[in-house]
Amino acid sequence: AQKVTQAQTEISVVEKEDVTLDCVYETRDTTYYLFWYKQPPSGELVFLIRRNSFDEQNEISGRYSWNFQKSTSSFNFTITASQVVDSAVYFCALSPQTGANNLFFGTGTRLTVIP
Amino acid sequence: EAGVTQFPSHSVIEKGQTVTLRCDPISGHDNLYWYRRVMGKEIKFLLHFVKESKQDESGMPNNRFLAERTGGTYSTLKVQPAELEDSGVYFCASSQKGAGSTEAFFGQGTRLTVV
C-alpha cells in the first residue's frame, strides 16, 4: 500500500522567512518516484520536482530545495526567503514503479506568506 | 503550447442530476488521468487512459461514474445521478509516458458542488 502524509495542514510565515514543508511516505516498493506540486489560487497543479528513489541527492533550484532521506521515508521541501507569490497549497505525491502509473497524494499544506 | 484544459471550471447541480466534465489533454499525450479531491482530503486517483483504452479504473467510486475517451483525444467524466458526496474538485492530468516516469501536467480542475 502507498501512503503520503503531510502533517502540516496550514503554515503561515512572514515574508523573507524560511519555511520547510514536511512529507513522509510509505511504500513497499523498492523503486518509486516522489513529487512536489504547487497549487496556486488559479487552481491548477504545477509540477515542481520529481525524485527517483535511487537518487538521494538533495536538490536546489533557486529558493527551493528538497531533502530526500530514505532512512526516514521523508521528502521535505524548503523555501528560502519566502515571498508572497509562494502562497499556495503544496502537495507531495508518490508514484510506485510496479506498473501503476497513478500518483498517491498527501492532503496538502496550505502556505501563506504574509507581507 | 496549450496545457491541459478542463470544462467547466465550476458546476453546481442538484442531487440526482447528471453532470459531464470534460478534459482536453496536451496534444500528443497518450496518458490521461482523472483525480478527485474531496474538501480537505488528499487528491485521489480515479482512472487512467492510455489512448482510448482504460488502463486502470480501480479508483472509480461506483457505477454512477462513467469515463470515456473516444478517439484517444479528449475525455469526459459523467456522474449520473449525482450525490452530495460527489462534491469536490476533479482534476485531469496528461503525460507522454506513465506519470511516475515523467511529469504529469494537470488542468485547473472542475469544482463540482452537488446540493
The model's pLDDT over A23-45, given as tens digits with 9 standing for 90+, comes to 999 999 888 999 999 999 888 89
CA distance B98 to chain A (A): 5
Each of the 115 residues of chain B gets a pLDDT tens digit; together they read 679 999 999 999 999 999 999 999 999 899 999 999 998 788 999 999 999 999 989 999 999 999 999 888 999 999 999 999 999 999 999 988 766 667 889 999 999 999 9
Give A-chain residues touching B95 at CB under 8 angstroms.
101
Distance between CA atoms of B33 and B45, rounded to whole angstroms? 8
Cβ contact (<8 Å) for B43 and A95?
no
The span from the CA of B36 to the CA of B26, in Å, is 19
Report the distance separating Cα B47 and Cα B55, nearest Å. Answer: 8
Nearest to B43 among A32, A44, A91 (CB): A91
Please tell me which residue of chain A has the smallest CA distance to B99. Answer: A101
Contact A45 B33 (CB under 8 A): no
Where do the DSSP E strands lie in B8-103?
Answer: 10-13, 19-24, 31-37, 43-50, 53-56, 65-68, 75-79, 88-95
Taking contacts as CB-CB distances below 8 angstroms, the residues of chain A near B107 are: 44
Please name the residues in contact with B22: beta carbons below 8 A apart, sequence gap of 6 or more: B6, B7, B74, B75, B76, B77
Tell me the helices (H) and strands (E) count for chain B, helix number first.
Answer: 0, 11
Cβ–Cβ gap B93/A43 under 8 Å: no
At residue A98, does pLDDT exceed 70? no
- Verify whether the Cβ–Cβ distance A101 to B107 is below 8 Å: no
Note the pLDDT of residue A99.
54
**pLDDT given at position A76:** 97
- A49 touches B at CB < 8 Å: no
